[in-house]
Amino acid sequence: MHLKSYLAAAIYGLPALAHAAPSPASGSSSSASSSSSDPHFKTYTIKAENITATLIPYGARLTSLLVPDRDGNEQDVIVGYDDPKTYLHDSETNRTFFGAVVGRYANRIKNGTFSIDGTAYHIPENENGGRDTLHGGSVGYDMRNWTVTSHTDSAITFSLLDQGLENFPGDVISYATFSVSTQKSAENPKGLPQLTTKLVSLALTQKTPIMLANHLYWNLNAFKNPTILNDTLLQLPLSERFIVGDGILIPTGEIGDVDTAYSGALDFTEPKLIGKDIDKTTGLCGTGCTGYDTCWLVDRPAAYGAGDTVVPTVRVASEKTGISLEIATNQAAMQVYTCNGQNGSIATKDSQAKRNKAQDGNPGAAFVNKYGCVVFETEDWIDGINQPQWGRRPYQIAGPDDGPVVNFATYQFGTI
């Protein structure tokens, strides 16, 4: 969404980027060193009552989020690694995008191509044998060294100057701000632990696609169970429609109804276990795939006002730990991925295993299994730049005369 009120904030701090460490060069996996002294893998902690977040500059990445369960025990609900340097290895091998900001354009672009004002552009395809671009290309924002521009006890802001990276047109400056709070407000009357994220991007030189997203992997049962299927309840209260994809998850242009497609398996307008209808989804997440990797649309009732009003889009809770999460955002869609591609080859965090051992006498799941987590990406309609009939191009293409593109979301935690 373009919000001109963020203009001054987006421009502020621009000169500091002249001193930023170089980002990985296009065509290489990363220029970041795995040395323990490398500032891009330095951990930064922000805290408020009952919520502690840890982040690193590499990918502007959330690596840990500690919140209390129903018994008051602290749990880490973010999937990732204890050792920050492991994220570099991940980029060079699995490239899971654990916890990172993805861009310049999140999700998929068909054939790595798009056009603006009659000019065609081609960016590197990095998925499905060259048939699409995923999360910004071969070296996306998840593999860039962001700069810390401010850090307080409860907030941190990273910045990245993108000068035509991955062959995208023009230059873009982006800020990723993470903050935590338990302050009571109209949106949080109980003062629950809350993480707030703001991704603010400004096109500096020419029109370009911009659609950043946080790629956060969640496990609210804290790996006390091997999967999330039978203990994690999900509700998408404003999502009665979804974007239909082909066998490699590229939009076909069709918009489907959740109550009829796949025998109602996509209908989460009322809470239900994530695994309740998953057996009905074969082919939904790609040819031969069973699970969810789907873009649900967020249809705001007229009572909410403008189309970019912040509204609750996800409610999810673990019956095992009692931890609940509500996500509210100004975005028009929500991509949900149930970790169908995980195969048990990535170990879970040793830090959480120790918590589980101390609390339960059992370390829990040793590996991130298939269906062992879930991703929620607040974003716009995927590949909307190649589907003009949807009318989303004005929200996904910005130039120097436009206000910033802003992805705003809150993550509010409670217990059931």
* Mode of pairing for the β-strands spanning 51-56 and 61-68: antiparallel
Residue with tokens 């080859």: 345
Our measurement of the distance from residue 349's CA atom to the centroid of its chain's CA atoms, rounded to an integer in Å, reads 20
Give the CA radius of gyration of the chain. Answer: 20
What token pair was written down for 346? Answer: 């990535």
Which residues are within 8 A (CB) of 275 and not within 5 positions of it... i.e. 6 or more apart?
A: 227, 228, 229, 230, 371
Residue 200 to residue 409: CA distance in whole angstroms: 12
Q: Known catalytic residue: 377? A: yes
Residue 361 to residue 355: CA distance in whole angstroms: 9
Distances (CA, A) of 126 to 105, 109, 397: 13, 10, 22
Are 167 and 123 in contact, with CB atoms under 8 Å apart?
yes
Distances (CA, A) of 399 to 8, 101, 123: 16, 21, 18
Residue 392 to residue 364: CA distance in whole angstroms: 43
Of 373, 362, 383, give the one whose Cα is nearest residue 97: 373
Are 90 and 81 in contact, with CB atoms under 8 Å apart?
yes
Residue 100 to residue 58: CA distance in whole angstroms: 8
Indicate which residue of 40, 135, 215, 240 is catalytic. 215
In the sheet where 100-102 sits, what is the strand order?
100-102, 213-218, 374-379, 333-337, 293-297, 241-245, 251-257
Residue 259 to residue 239: CA distance in whole angstroms: 10
Indicate which residue of 125, 240, 326, 377 is catalytic. 377
Is the Cα torsion angle 261, 264, 266, 267 positive or negative in sign? positive
Paired with 159 in beta bridges are 147, 175
Residues labelled catalytic: 215, 377
